[in-house]
Amino acid sequence: MPTSQHSSSRAVANRFWPGRRVLVAGGTHGFGLVLARQLAGRGAQLLLVGRSPAGVRAAIAACESAAAAAGQPGEGLHGLAADLAQPGEGDRVVAVCLEKLGGLDSLFFCIGRSGRTAVLKLPADEFRAAIEVNLITAIEISQAAADPICRAGGELVYIGSLAGKLVTPAMGAYAVGKSALAAFADAVRLEVAPRG
């Protein structure tokens, strides 16, 4: 049974999100899709970003269903296939977001990929790929999104992992990437704090 505190928190969340312009990087599967569906159900306008065009279409359909189930109009739900590990993609994604949503209030970074190989056995190119997915993509999108988000008085949110603090066997490359993501998020926080 929800307490009055939970009901109060839910009421605040429901008033906060309607009309907010949100970019969800990694919004086509896993935690990012769960988050996107919740935001759609609360009336946020969304740009979902994923690498697969088919995955983007499926995620938009899931968000439309979530919005309809919550009695929201489901307007302003957009998707874009992009690989944020590629130079310049962050700028392109944010430009599309600004065009489609008319601004940007929030970025949720939900991209991540893990594997199960010992770091001392992992080929260097696979280690680089893990760092690109778990860190470089965050840098790419954040550098493009920070200015419009700061102008809107919004927020940049990075979904990390306990693996960034607690390394387990055969998960070292993922842990390194998520640990670096946490340090990057701290650096971003320090840089944007004076801007509101």
CA distances for 127 relative to 10, 87, 171, angstroms: 41, 19, 11
CATH superfamily ID and name for 14-195: NAD(P)-binding Rossmann-like Domain (3.40.50.720)
Give the whole-angstrom CA distance, residue 174 versus residue 12: 35
Boundaries of every domain in the chain: 14-195
The length of the chain in residues reads 196
pLDDT digit string, tens, across residues 103-145: 999 999 999 888 888 889 989 999 899 999 999 999 999 999 9
- Give the bridge partners for 22, in sequence order: 46, 106
Q: Are the C-beta atoms of residues 142 and 156 closer than 8 Å to each other?
A: yes
Given a cut of 70, the residues of the chain with pLDDT beneath it are 1-14, 163-164
Contact call for residues 139 and 187 (beta carbons, < 8 A): no
